[in-house]
Amino acid sequence: MLTRISNAIIKVTEFGLWIGFLVLVVTVGLQVGVRNIFKLPLIWTLDLAQLLFSWLIFIGAAVAFRRGAHYMVDIWPEDWARFRAVLDIIAIAAAAVVIYVLIVHGWTLVDIRRTSTVASLGISHSWMFLPMPLSGGLMLIFLAEAVQGMFRKGPR
């Protein structure tokens, strides 16, 4: 059940990331083109690019977490199953700490920035920081899925 939910979340999220990346490329291209051809700065393009970059980085990190695409050093022999199980537990605890920081402190940043606005876009600055707790929430779902998978399969 959790795997099906995670798969659905990943499909929607990856589609959103593709759209966001496309808009980022068009925005930066427009900024460079208009500045170089017409000698006019488009200030809103810089702010939009920063907003999109923030969303792409944090939400993309959650997708990478689900895929297991973050760097991992695997130096222990395959037959050290108990030791590897201990390392898996340490990895889960470390991931939980990162997720906690993203959710709790990310939400604090969202709340702090709620009252200021991005003048060129006319939106709250909190939109720049919202991907942090959202990424942490996605990672929490994916961590629960990984833990569930570990208990089903047993140690590696």
pLDDT digits (tens, 9 = 90+) for 119-140: 999 999 999 999 999 999 999 9
Global pTM value? 0.90
Count other C-beta atoms under 10 Å from residue 49's C-beta: 17
The per-residue pLDDT for 83 is: 87
Q: Which residue has the tokens 């200021």?
A: 116
**Domain coordinates of the chain in residue numbers?**
2-153
29-79: pLDDT as tens digits: 999 999 999 999 899 999 999 999 999 999 999 999 999 887 777 777 878
Single-letter code of the amino acid located at 7: N
Burial zone of 99 (CB within 10 Å; 0-12 exposed, 13-18 middle, 19+ buried)? buried
Does residue 156 carry a pLDDT above 70? no
Q: Which residue has the tokens 């999220």?
A: 13
Rounded to whole angstroms, the Cα distance separating 107 from 120 reads 24
Write phi, then psi, for 96 (nearest 5 degrees): -65, -40
Q: Interior CA angle at 94 toward 136 and 60, to 5°?
A: 35
Rounded to whole angstroms, the Cα distance separating 43 from 120 reads 7
The per-residue pLDDT for 44 is: 95
Q: In sequence order, which residues have a C-beta less than 8 Å from that of residue 156 and are 6 or more positions away?
A: 78, 81, 84, 85, 88
